[in-house]
């Protein structure tokens, strides 16, 4: 089919606004998947996606649609994630498209992620088709949604299509809008073949499979391809399209979206955002790729069973290929043995990766407390980046420590305003300004330290707003803060797995909490063990692990009290001597319990 009759578009929206359900209806309407085979959330292929009801990876699919103008069109659709942690997936999908269907929930209106994704699409110069979804809900408020569309997103209300992915309302109108409003593929007249790699996966039998959008030229089996970023040459073994399962075709032409199987076997050689061209007539100019994704959250991942180290290493290598935002490097810990320091985009991203390691690769793992990347300015002006508290230099050599901040847009109901402001202040944040969205909702623009939102911020936001609050954020600038390294000492020895970088004002509370938790979990020893939280040489919190005591006075009955005292003093001396030379053996499950509750 000619490029003139091809349309590439994606569906973007906030979490739970119905992207995947709408994709199901489009597949059904174009007879791409028969009703017998079609399942709910058909494009969400991962078990995790189906369980959590969220999209984690973007899923391409090619459909054929006979339009009302008598022409037959090829539609390449991408269903994208909505969660803020996977916004890089959205940006990759947008780069491979010319248009975007922007979904808005008729009951909830414009949410934080709706605004963020709309800005991403405008930045890529895509044609936006606004769709008000879920109009069949009893709580749908169309008037409000159309007003927000104009006021917040500056898109004319008359362009909006009213639809329901569940009930199948407005599907024909959406397909017609895609055909007539989305422009045909761009850059097709470039003289050499160029294809953009927007995703890839590893197959145990076929090696690396690259997902590509072809912008110009033709790619077919037997061609020698060239990766423009590293100059790697490889023979193309197979090309195909997604229907949504992989289906082999003879060739991929300009405007097509599909996959390429080549001789590349190493997961690190095909990078997302790279340009593929043909080695006999190579292109001179690469396609605009993506902004390099930088991990924001780091933690250590260790196998519970140390013999699983190689298995964990192989699992991380495979996940790294499918996920450009995930990075890892080897590290070791006295307490936990050999493992890896891993970087993620956010907490949900971290949770998903850990769950995939456990399920898909059958490795039981333990993770250390999450941390962010700090900038440390040393005397003499040298600046170093620290993602692990253990690597923090000696305090005497540090001029200042800077922490990353985020600029957050928080959408909340009016009645939750006071509690949310208190939460923002508790997390050392400041509210930049407030915008009234409508009669019941406001949007707060806040500056918050990234470290403070890592663990429980989103849970508490949902709890305070009874599930109606939503947040989108982008990385802000680095700011100087009074940060210190807090260590946990057990019997005077520091335990690296529990070290953390905290704000001085919060160190005492966090130290006390951790000491209490460890005192409960570490089993009793033969002598009393002190668990201390310390900053530098100063102890700021302490708790004790009870000692096991033998009743040495059991054989004494009656008689002089001095006999009992003599035995107790002898026992005390023995325990004092044992404390000097004894070492506290902490079972690995104690680390697991503490780190998992954290």
Kindly report the number of other CB atoms within 10 A of residue 382's CB atom: 11
Lowest mean pLDDT of 32-36, 177-181, 386-390, 533-537, name the range.
Answer: 32-36
Please check if 57 is assigned to a binding site.
no
| Same structural domain, 221 and 87 | no
Q: What is the number of residues in the chain?
A: 598
What does the pLDDT read at residue 291?
Answer: 62
The last residue of one of the domains, among 334, 367, 400, is: 367
What does the pLDDT read at residue 34?
Answer: 62
Please check if 136 is assigned to a binding site.
yes
CA count, 13 A, side-chain hemisphere, 11:
33
Please check if 21 is assigned to a binding site.
yes
Give the C-alpha separation, 60 to 10, whole Å: 9
Look at residue 249 and tell me if it is in a domain.
Answer: yes
Q: Which residues contact residue 223 at a Cβ distance below 8 angstroms, ignoring those fewer than 6 apart?
A: 235, 236, 278
CB 405 within 8 A of CB 476: yes
Q: Is the pLDDT of residue 107 over 70?
A: yes
> What Å distances lie between residue 313 and 124, 265, 270, 319, CA to CA?
36, 17, 19, 10
Query: Does residue 84 or residue 447 have the better pLDDT?
Result: 447
Write 388-393 long-range contacts (CB < 8 A, 24+): 388/298, 388/300, 388/331, 388/341, 389/485, 389/499, 389/500, 389/501, 390/496, 390/499, 392/485, 392/501
| Same structural domain, 64 and 86 | yes
| Same structural domain, 266 and 331 | no
Output the CA torsion sign for 228, 229, 233, 237.
negative
| Same structural domain, 320 and 201 | no
Q: Is the pLDDT of residue 176 over 60?
A: yes
- Where in 353-429 does DSSP place strands (E)? 365-367, 374-378, 383-386, 398-413
Lowest mean pLDDT of 244-248, 269-273, 517-521, 584-588, name the range.
Answer: 584-588
pLDDT over 70 percentage in the chain: 86
For residue 244, say if its preceding peptide bond is cis, omega within 30 degrees of 0: yes
Q: What rounded mean pLDDT belongs to the chain?
A: 84
Give the C-alpha separation, 470 to 15, whole Å: 9
Q: Which residues contact residue 420 at a Cβ distance below 8 angstroms, ignoring those fewer than 6 apart?
A: 410, 412, 444, 461, 464, 465, 469
Q: Is the pLDDT of residue 43 over 60?
A: no
Give the model confidence (pLDDT) of 535-588 as tens digits: 988 999 999 887 766 666 667 766 677 877 777 787 677 656 554 444 555 665
| Same structural domain, 318 and 270 | no
Give the model confidence (pLDDT) of 318-348 as tens digits: 888 767 678 899 988 777 788 999 998 877 7
What does the pLDDT read at residue 579?
Answer: 47
Please check if 134 is assigned to a binding site.
yes
Return the CATH number at 203: 2.40.30.10
CB 22 within 8 A of CB 103: yes
Query: Does residue 57 or residue 94 have the better pLDDT?
Result: 94
Name residue 242's beta-bridge partners: 246
What does the pLDDT read at residue 341?
Answer: 92
pLDDT over 90 percentage in the chain: 40
Look at residue 189 and tell me if it is in a domain.
Answer: no
Kindly state the average pLDDT of the residues 276-282: 93
Look at residue 292 and tell me if it is in a domain.
Answer: no
| Same structural domain, 530 and 588 | yes
Lowest mean pLDDT of 153-162, 296-305, 489-498, 579-588, name the range.
Answer: 579-588
The secondary structure element, H or E, covering residue 566 is helix 561-581
Look at residue 287 and tell me if it is in a domain.
Answer: no
CB 142 within 8 A of CB 107: no
Kindly state the average pLDDT of the residues 78-84: 66
Please check if 50 is assigned to a binding site.
no
Helix (H, G, I), strand (E, B) or coil at 408: strand
Name residue 474's beta-bridge partners: 407
What does the pLDDT read at residue 19?
Answer: 83
Give the C-alpha separation, 102 to 156, whole Å: 13
Name residue 469's beta-bridge partners: none
Q: How confident is the model at residue 195 (pLDDT cuts 50, 70, 90)?
A: very high
Alpha helices, H only, 344-502: 347-360, 417-426, 457-464
The last residue of one of the domains, among 316, 333, 367, is: 367
Name residue 541's beta-bridge partners: 533
Give the model confidence (pLDDT) of 199-236 as tens digits: 877 777 888 889 899 999 999 999 999 999 889 999 99
CB 420 within 8 A of CB 412: yes
What range defines the domain where residue 349 resides? 297-367
CB 77 within 8 A of CB 191: no
Output the CA torsion sign for 408, 409, 411, 414.
positive
Most trustworthy range by pLDDT among 90-99, 442-451, 493-502, 549-558: 442-451
Query: Does residue 200 or residue 149 have the better pLDDT?
Result: 149
Q: How confident is the model at residue 9 (pLDDT cuts 50, 70, 90)?
A: very high
Kindly state the average pLDDT of the residues 460-478: 87
What does the pLDDT read at residue 192?
Answer: 93
> What Å distances lie between residue 535 and 276, 504, 519, 575, CA to CA?
52, 9, 19, 28
Please check if 451 is assigned to a binding site.
no
Q: What is the number of structural domains in the chain?
A: 5
Please check if 20 is assigned to a binding site.
yes
Burial 553-579 (b: 16+ CB within 10 A, else e): eeeeeeeeeeeeeebeeeeeeebeeeb
Look at residue 285 and tell me if it is in a domain.
Answer: no
| Same structural domain, 252 and 238 | yes
| Same structural domain, 45 and 167 | yes
Please check if 135 is assigned to a binding site.
yes
Lowest mean pLDDT of 263-277, 393-407, 459-473, name the range.
Answer: 263-277
Look at residue 290 and tell me if it is in a domain.
Answer: no
Q: For residue 291, with 0-12 CB atoms within 10 Å meaning exposed, 13-18 middle and 19 or more buried, which class applies?
A: exposed
Please check if 16 is assigned to a binding site.
yes
Look at residue 283 and tell me if it is in a domain.
Answer: no
| Same structural domain, 457 and 552 | no
Return the CATH number at 451: 3.30.70.240
| Same structural domain, 388 and 355 | no
Q: What is the largest CA-CA distance in the chain?
A: 112
| Same structural domain, 340 and 422 | no
- Where in 166-229 does DSSP place strands (E)? 194-203, 207-216, 219-220, 224-227
The residue assigned the tokens 């998992």 is 596
Helices (H) then strands (E): counts for the chain:
13, 30
The last residue of one of the domains, among 181, 204, 224, is: 181
Helix (H, G, I), strand (E, B) or coil at 569: helix
Look at residue 291 and tell me if it is in a domain.
Answer: no
| Same structural domain, 65 and 150 | yes
């Amino acid at each position: 089919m000619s490029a003139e009759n091809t349309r590439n578009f994606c569906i973007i929206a906030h979490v739970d606004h119905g992207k995947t359900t709408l994709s199901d209806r489009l597949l059904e309407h174009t007879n791409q998947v028969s009703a017998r085979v079609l399942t709910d959330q058909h494009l969400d292929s991962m078990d995790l996606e189906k369980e959590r009801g969220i999209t984690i990876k973007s899923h391409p699919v090619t459909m054929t649609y006979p339009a009302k103008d008598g022409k037959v069109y090829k539609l390449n659709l991408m269903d994208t994630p909505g969660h803020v942690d996977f916004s890089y997936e959205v940006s990759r999908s947008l780069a491979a498209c010319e248009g975007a269907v922007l979904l808005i929930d008729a009951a909830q209106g414009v949410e934080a992620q709706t605004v963020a994704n709309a800005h991403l699409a405008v930045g890529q110069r895509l044609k936006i088709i606004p769709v008000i979804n879920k109009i069949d809900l009893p709580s749908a408020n169309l008037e409000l949604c159309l007003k927000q569309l104009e006021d917040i997103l500056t898109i004319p209300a008359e362009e909006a299509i009213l639809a329901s992915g569940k009930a199948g309302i407005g599907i024909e109108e959406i397909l017609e809008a895609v055909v007539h409003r989305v422009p045909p593929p761009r850059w097709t007249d470039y003289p050499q073949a160029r294809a953009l790699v927007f995703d890839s996966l590893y197959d145990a039998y076929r090696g690396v499979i690259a997902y590509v959008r072809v912008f110009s030229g033709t790619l077919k089996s037997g061609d020698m391809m060239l990766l423009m970023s590293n100059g790697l040459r490889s023979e193309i073994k197979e090309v195909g399209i997604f229907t949504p399962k992989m289906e082999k075709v003879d060739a991929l032409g300009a405007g097509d979206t599909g996959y390429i199987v080549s001789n590349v076997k190493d997961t690190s050689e095909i990078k997302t955002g790279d340009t593929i061209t043909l080695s006999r007539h190579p292109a001179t100019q690469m396609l605009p790729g993506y902004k390099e994704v930088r991990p924001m959250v780091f933690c250590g991942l260790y196998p519970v069973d140390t013999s699983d180290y190689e298995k964990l290493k192989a699992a991380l290598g495979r996940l790294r290929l499918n996920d450009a935002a995930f990075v890892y490097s080897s590290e070791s810990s006295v307490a936990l043995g050999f493992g890896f320091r891993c970087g993620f985009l956010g907490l949900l991203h971290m949770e998903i990766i850990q769950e995939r390691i456990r399920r898909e690769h059958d490795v039981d793992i333990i993770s250390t407390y999450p941390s962010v990347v700090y900038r440390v300015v040393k005397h003499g002006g040298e600046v170093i980046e620290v993602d692990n508290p253990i690597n923090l230099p000696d305090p005497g050599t540090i001029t200042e420590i800077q922490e990353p901040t985020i600029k957050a847009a928080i959408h909340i109901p009016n009645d939750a305003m006071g509690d949310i402001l208190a939460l923002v202040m508790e997390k050392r944040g400041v509210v930049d300004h407030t915008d009234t969205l409508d009669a019941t909702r406001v949007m707060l623009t806040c500056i918050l330290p990234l470290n403070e939102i890592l663990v429980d911020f989103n849970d508490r936001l949902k709890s305070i707003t009874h599930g109606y609050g939503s947040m989108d954020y982008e990385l802000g600038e680095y700011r100087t803060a009074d940060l210190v390294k807090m260590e946990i000492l057990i019997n005077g020895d520091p335990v690296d797995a529990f070290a953390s970088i905290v704000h001085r004002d919060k160190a005492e509370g966090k130290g006390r909490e951790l000491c209490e938790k460890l005192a409960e979990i570490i089993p009793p020893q033969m002598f009393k063990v002190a668990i201390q939280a310390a900053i530098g040489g100063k102890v700021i919190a302490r708790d004790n692990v009870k000692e096991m005591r033998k009743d040495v006075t059991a054989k004494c009955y009656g008689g002089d009290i001095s006999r009992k005292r003599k035995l107790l003093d002898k026992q005390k001396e023995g325990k004092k001597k044992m404390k000097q030379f004894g070492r506290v053996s902490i079972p690995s499950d104690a680390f697991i319990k503490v780190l998992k509750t954290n």
